[in-house]
Structure 1
Amino acid sequence: MQLIYQLGIPMSNAVGMLLRQIVLQKGIPFEMKLPRTAPLTYGSLTKEQFDKEIEKGMSDVKAGRVYSADAIEAEMKRDFGI
């Protein structure tokens, strides 16, 4: 959706364009498939896997690969008008 906003295309126009392409191509104009793996959930992890994921997160924090809540809020306002 971010691309639609960046292009300045109203959502209603984007939907209309998609529907026209479905008619012209007699089908969905792009490949649709399920993801190969499901997103990680706490209940699906073993203790070792959970500990590894936590360690990855802690490494990001230690390396400064973090975003403040203010930065995230500003980005959402800029990109989505939220």
Structure 2
Amino acid sequence: MASKSNMTLRIEPELKEQAAALFKSLGLDLSTATGIFYRQALRYHGLPFEIRADEEPNEVTYAAMEAAENGEDMYGPFNSVAEMMEAL
């Protein structure tokens, strides 16, 4: 049997409880599920799932992105926090 080492993860207690319940329903414990995640990451040479935003940017965000691409100065740079807060 291969030797194993310990790992410490910092995670929110509620998230840990929810994940533990899900994995238990699949017949897994947290350690086994974590090992599966690492094996899949190695197999895919990256995260084994797609990372993306849930929503499309709104019209204001698209306008700001277009202005930035065109080199338009939106509001800054600012010389102080007070100056930035005034612009907001």
Q: Give the TM-score band, short-chain normalised.
A: 0.3 to 0.5
Higher relative contact order (CA 8 A, sep 6+): 1
Tell me the TM-score normalized by structure 2: 0.37
